[in-house]
Chains A and B, each alone.
Chain A
Amino acid sequence: MSVTTLSSRVLAQRQPSWLVRLFDYKPFLIVICLAPAIGLLAVFLTYPLGLGIWLAFTDTTIGQKGIFVGLDNFQYLLSDPLWWNAVFYSVVYTGIATFGKFALGFWLALLLNNHFPFKSLLRAIILLPWIVPTVLSALAFWWIYDPQFSIISYLLVDVLHWRTTNVDFLGSPWPARFSLIAANIWRGIPFVAISLLAGLQTISPSLYEAAMLDGASAWQRFRYITFPMMMPILAIVMTFSIIFTFTDFQLVYAITRGGPGNSTHLLATLAFQRGIAGGELGEGAAIAVSMIPFLVFATLFSYFGLARRKWQQGEAND
Chain B
Amino acid sequence: MRNDITRRDALALGLSAATVAATGVAAHAQSAIKVADAPAPKLPIEKGATLRMLRPVRFVQADEDVFRANAAKFTKETGVEVKIDFVGWEDISQQTAVTANSGAGPDIIIGFSDAPHIYIDKLIELTDVADYVGKRYGGWLPLAQRYGKKNKSDTWIGLPFGASAGPLIYRKSILQSVGFDKVPEDHAGILDLCQKLQKAGKPAGFALGNAKGDGNGFASWALWSHNAALLDEEGSLTINSKETIAALNWVKQLYPTFIAGTTSWNDVSNNRAYAAQEIALTANGVSLYFSLKNDPATKAIADDSEHQLLPKGVAKISPMAGLTLNAMVFKHSQYPNAAKAFLQFMLEKDQYEPWLNANSGYWAQPLAAYADAAVWSQDPKVKIFKDTMNSTYYDGYKGPISTATGAVSADYVLIQMFASVATGAATPEAAAAEAEQRCKRYFRRQK
Contacts and interface: CB of A to CB of B under 8 A. Distances in A.
Contact of B419 (A148, A169, A260): A260
Contacts of A145: 264
B420 A261 contact: yes
A259 B272 contact: no
B261 A278 contact: no
A147 B260 contact: yes
Contacts of B262: 147, 171
A15 B442 CA distance: 71
B366 to A, nearest CB: 24
Interface of A: 59, 61-64, 76, 81-82, 145-149, 165-166, 168-173, 176, 256-262, 273-274, 276-280
Given A62-B101, A260-B209, A274-B411, A147 B94 contact: no
Contacts of B403: 61-64, 279
Interface of B: 94, 97, 100-101, 118-119, 122, 208-210, 259-266, 269, 272-273, 276, 278, 403, 406-407, 410-412, 416, 419-420, 423, 425, 434, 438, 441-442, 445
A259 B261 contact: no
Contact of A259 (B259, B264, B273, B276): B264
Main secondary structure of the interface of A (DSSP, over half): loop
Contact of A277 (B118, B272, B411): B411
Nearest to A281: B97
Given A59-B445, A259-B210, A260-B419, A279 B406 contact: yes
Contacts of B438: 82
A82 B410 CA distance: 16
B261 A148 contact: yes
Given A63-B101, A168-B260, A173-B425, 13 more contacts: A62-B97, A62-B101, A76-B441, A165-B260, A171-B260, A176-B264, A259-B263, A259-B412, A260-B263, A260-B264, A261-B420, A277-B411, A278-B407
B406 A261 contact: no
A148 B265 CA distance: 10
Chain B CB within 10 Å, residue with most, of A81, A173, A259 = A259
B264 A148 contact: no
Given A62-B101, A147-B264, A148-B261, A261 B419 contact: yes
Nearest to A259: B210
B261 A63 contact: no
Contacts of B445: 59, 61
B118 to A, nearest CB: 5
30 contacts: A59-B445, A61-B403, A62-B118, A76-B441, A147-B262, A147-B264, A147-B269, A148-B272, A148-B273, A148-B276, A149-B272, A166-B260, A166-B261, A168-B260, A170-B261, A170-B263, A171-B262, A171-B423, A256-B209, A256-B210, A257-B266, A258-B210, A260-B208, A260-B419, A260-B423, A262-B416, A278-B411, A279-B118, A279-B406, A280-B442
Chain B CB within 10 Å, residue with most, of A64, A170, A256, A277 = A277
Contacts of A261: 263, 416, 419-420, 423, 425
A280 B445 CA distance: 11
A257 B411 CA distance: 10
Contacts of B272: 148-149
B407 A280 contact: yes
A62 B11 CA distance: 39
A173 B209 CA distance: 12
B263 A172 contact: yes
Nearest to A173: B425
B264 A63 contact: no
* 7 closest cross-chain pairs (CB), A and B: A147-B261, A170-B264, A257-B210, A260-B263, A277-B410, A62-B97, A259-B210
A278 B100 contact: no
Nearest to B417: A261
Given A76-B441, A261-B419, A278-B407, A63 B209 contact: no
Contacts of B411: 273-274, 277-278
Contacts of B101: 62-63
A262 B263 CA distance: 11
